[in-house]
Amino acid sequence: MSPAQPRLRTSSDLIPSHITTRSELNEWEAANILKAVKFYLTEKRTFDIDIAWLKKLHEEMFDETWKWAGKFRQINYNLGIDWHNINEQMKALADDIAYWKAGTSNLNVFEQSVRIHHRLVKIHPFVNGNGRQARLASDIFLFNNDFKLPNWPSEALLEASNIRKTYVAALQEADKGNYKPLETFTADLIS
């Protein structure tokens, strides 16, 4: 191991025992996530976006990496809502998505996808991987509704960068009810 590569803190929840550095973990997670991406973004699939499916998606993204994949967190962090409210807020999100699907919303599909993305990040239901799960869930929603997908700069969103700062600022504006910056950020990533 080179001195420039930080060691990974040991975690009893990490499934592969050979991983010792953050870069090894990032690679492993990326390969795990890629399987879910290939499954959901190569052909349309019929399912309801409900609590069970949102948990399943997270599990499919991280099932070879973390023992807690697909399980709601049971602790509070400096991000996300109080963990006691996760089920209630996830149910509210699923109900909103069903309402939008019924065609009774004045939001277009792109605006709906941005709200799905934001709400999942804001709820922060899992121990980790919430942003990645939120982006993939919103991409699946767009894909199943015949919309072009954003090309997320994955590495730049994981590390301290100007792109991450802009992204976080857009999410914070959405927390205040102003979705325009997040819509613009996302739209700019669609080619």
Q: Which domains does the chain have, with CATH numbers?
A: 22-187 (1.10.3290.10)
Residue 157: pLDDT band (50, 70, 90) is confident
Please state the pTM of the whole predicted model.
0.91
Question: For position 164, what pLDDT does the model report?
Answer: 92
Cα dihedral 6→11→16→21 (10° resolution): 0
pLDDT digits 0-9 by tens, 20-29: 998 899 999 9
Q: pLDDT band at 58, cuts 50/70/90?
A: very high
CA distance 134 to 40: 14
Percent over 70 (pLDDT), the chain: 94
Convert the pLDDT of each residue in 106-126 to its tens digit.
Answer: 999 999 999 999 999 999 999
| Model pLDDT, residue 3 | 43
Specify the pLDDT at position 10: 47
Distance in angstroms (rounded) separating the CA atoms of residues 87 and 24: 32
157 touches 167 (CB < 8 A): yes
Res 57 pLDDT > 70 = yes
Does residue 70 register a pLDDT over 60?
yes
How high is the pLDDT of residue 61? 98
